[in-house]
């Protein structure tokens, strides 16, 4: 007579599945159906190996299950210690736009203060070896978007060149900015951008699909590009060579059905070839300024303008002109700047900056400091 064993109904289902040679089982987590999966996981590997359809790789994977559980426990400890948040595909805070991508990650890890479902989000990418002219244009477009659209989110990869330029431009304008990393949150590559990353945590933050301990290997950078492209409404390429990560991001954005935009460059210049190629092949819309971005993405800026009109001096002190507002925002991010610094950051002619600073000083918004610097009065 066979041995009688007392078990739960769901446990009986699990053993019946093993004995009948079921190929697979699906159940909702954190429900009674979880008992079936838990029972299957507890069963010895040797028993599961006898089930028809269970291949050798599956058996090998199951033999490592204890190590996987230990690894998950270590990751949870890391997340609790350093304030990292894990978002699954089922979480409300998980980016809705990323859910619509077939190859979107099932889990992402975030650190900072960010809303990944903001109405207006744009990715800004480009070459690592960006020119000064390209950086100035990037700063100009981001600052114009800040003035015309209000609270948008700028997404990029925190890499050298155009990526970090986009992040820093957003910070100067008081915008939220999100960096998508190609490694775990226990490190930062490149380390030279650590200070920028720390600033981003206050308004924006860092996102990755990789657990702690994962190093920035080459394939990871390509993988992270799909998050940069999939999380926003459109991708803007400012400068790019014929081959590079920014073109991969643009291609992915197009495959996801998102808007792809490119800033044209002077023919023959290495940093112009990629953007000009996208435009020539009609793979990207030509962009010269923020108005083009707003038009292509279909952003409604009427509401943003009304908000600014109602807030008036409360948001920008007594600043009335668009240039004064840009200067005000730049000083909010980094105080005590010279007129030359503000001219570069805001992409405004230095003579115009001096005129605005004089008016702001008379209005008691800023005060002049030794060394030609200006201090924003709180």
Find all residues with CB under 8 Å of 134, minimum gap 6, and list them.
Answer: 126, 127, 162, 238, 239, 263, 265, 271
Q: Is residue 79 part of a domain?
A: no
Question: In terms of pLDDT, which residue wins out, 312 or 76?
Answer: 76
Q: What tokens does 144 get?
A: 């114009």
Q: Is residue 322 part of a domain?
A: yes
Provide the pLDDT for residue 150: 79
Q: Does one domain contain both 58 and 173?
A: no
Q: How many domains does the chain have?
A: 3
pLDDT in tens, 12-70: 777 677 666 665 666 666 666 667 666 666 666 666 666 666 677 766 766 677 788 89
Q: Does one domain contain both 322 and 293?
A: no
Q: What tokens does 231 get?
A: 């999380």
Closest by alpha carbon to 168, among 189, 196, 135? 196
Rounded Cα distance between 315 and 307, Å, is 10
Q: Does one domain contain both 286 and 336?
A: no
Packing angle between helix 34-42 and helix 9-20, nearest 10 degrees? Answer: 60
pTM of the model: 0.70
pLDDT at 223 over 90: yes
Q: Does one domain contain both 272 and 192?
A: yes
Q: Is residue 330 part of a domain?
A: yes
Q: Does one domain contain both 264 and 365?
A: no
SS (H, E, C) 31-46: CCCHHHHHHHHHCCHH
Q: Does one domain contain both 46 and 165?
A: no
From 244, 267, 297, give the residue that closes a domain: 297
Q: What tokens does 110 get?
A: 């975030």
Domain holding 356, by residue range, is 312-376
Question: In terms of pLDDT, which residue wins out, 310 or 242?
Answer: 242
Provide the pLDDT for residue 312: 42
pLDDT at 230 over 60: yes
pLDDT in tens, 126-152: 999 999 989 999 999 999 999 888 789
Provide the pLDDT for residue 372: 86
How many CB atoms are closer than 10 A to CB 344?
18
Q: Does one domain contain both 180 and 217?
A: yes
Q: Does one domain contain both 128 and 217?
A: yes
Q: What DSSP element (H or E) covers 344?
A: helix 339-346
pLDDT at 305 over 60: no
What is the C-alpha end-to-end distance of the chain, expressed in Å?
86
Q: Does one domain contain both 321 and 285?
A: no
Q: Does one domain contain both 161 and 253?
A: yes
Q: Is residue 306 part of a domain?
A: no
Q: Does one domain contain both 111 and 172?
A: yes
Q: Is residue 304 part of a domain?
A: no
Q: What DSSP element (H or E) covers 306?
A: helix 302-311
Strand pairing partners for 178? 155, 205
Using an 8 Å Cβ cutoff, are 176 and 149 in contact?
no
Q: Is residue 228 part of a domain?
A: yes
Q: Does one domain contain both 287 and 322?
A: no
Cis amide prior to 92 (ω within 30 degrees): no
pLDDT in tens, 310-343: 444 444 444 457 888 888 888 888 888 999 999 9
Q: Is residue 22 part of a domain?
A: yes
Q: Is residue 77 part of a domain?
A: no
Packing angle between helix 132-149 and helix 339-346, nearest 10 degrees? Answer: 80
What CATH code is carried by the domain that includes residue 221?
A: 3.40.50.450
Using an 8 Å Cβ cutoff, are 182 and 224 in contact?
yes
């Amino acid at each position: 007579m066979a041995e009688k064993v007392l078990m739960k109904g769901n446990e009986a289902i699990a053993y019946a599945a093993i004995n009948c040679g079921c190929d697979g089982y699906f159940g909702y987590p954190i429900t009674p159906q979880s008992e079936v999966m838990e029972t299957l996981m507890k069963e010895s590997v040797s028993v599961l190996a006898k089930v028809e359809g269970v291949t050798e790789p599956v058996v090998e994977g199951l033999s490592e299950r204890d190590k996987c559980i230990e690894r998950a426990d270590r990751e949870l400890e890391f997340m609790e210690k350093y304030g990292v948040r894990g978002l699954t595909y089922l979480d409300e805070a998980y980016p809705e736009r990323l859910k619509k991508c077939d190859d979107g990650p099932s889990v992402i890890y975030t650190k900072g203060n960010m809303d990944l479902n903001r109405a207006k989000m744009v990715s800004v990418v480009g070459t690592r070896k960006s020119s000064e002219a390209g950086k100035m244009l990037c700063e100009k477009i981001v600052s114009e978007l800040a003035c015309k659209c209000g609270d948008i989110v700028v997404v990029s990869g925190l890499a050298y060149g155009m990526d970090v330029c986009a992040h820093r431009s957003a910070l100067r304008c008081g915008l939220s900015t999100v960096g998508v990393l190609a490694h775990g949150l226990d490190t930062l590559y490149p380390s030279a951008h650590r200070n920028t990353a720390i600033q981003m945590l206050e308004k924006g933050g860092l996102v990755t699909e990789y657990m702690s301990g994962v190093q920035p290997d080459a394939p990871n950078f390509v993988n992270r590009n799909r998050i940069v492209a999939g999380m926003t409404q459109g991708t803007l390429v400012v400068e790019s060579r014929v081959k590079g990560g920014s073109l991969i991001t643009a291609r992915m954005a197009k495959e996801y059905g998102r808007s792809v935009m490119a800033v044209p460059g002077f023919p023959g210049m290495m940093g112009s070839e990629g953007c000009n190629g996208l435009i020539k092949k009609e793979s990207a819309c030509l962009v010269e300024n923020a108005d083009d971005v707003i038009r292509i993405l279909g952003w409604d800026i009427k509401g943003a303008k009304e908000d600014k009109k109602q807030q008036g001096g409360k948001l920008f002190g007594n600043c009335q002109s668009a240039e004064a507002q840009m200067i005000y925002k730049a000083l909010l991010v980094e105080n005590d700047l010279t007129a030359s610094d503000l001219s570069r950051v805001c992409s405004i002619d230095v003579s115009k900056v001096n005129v605005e600073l004089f008016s702001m000083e008379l209005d008691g918004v800023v005060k002049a400091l030794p060394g030609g610097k200006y201090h924003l009065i709180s």
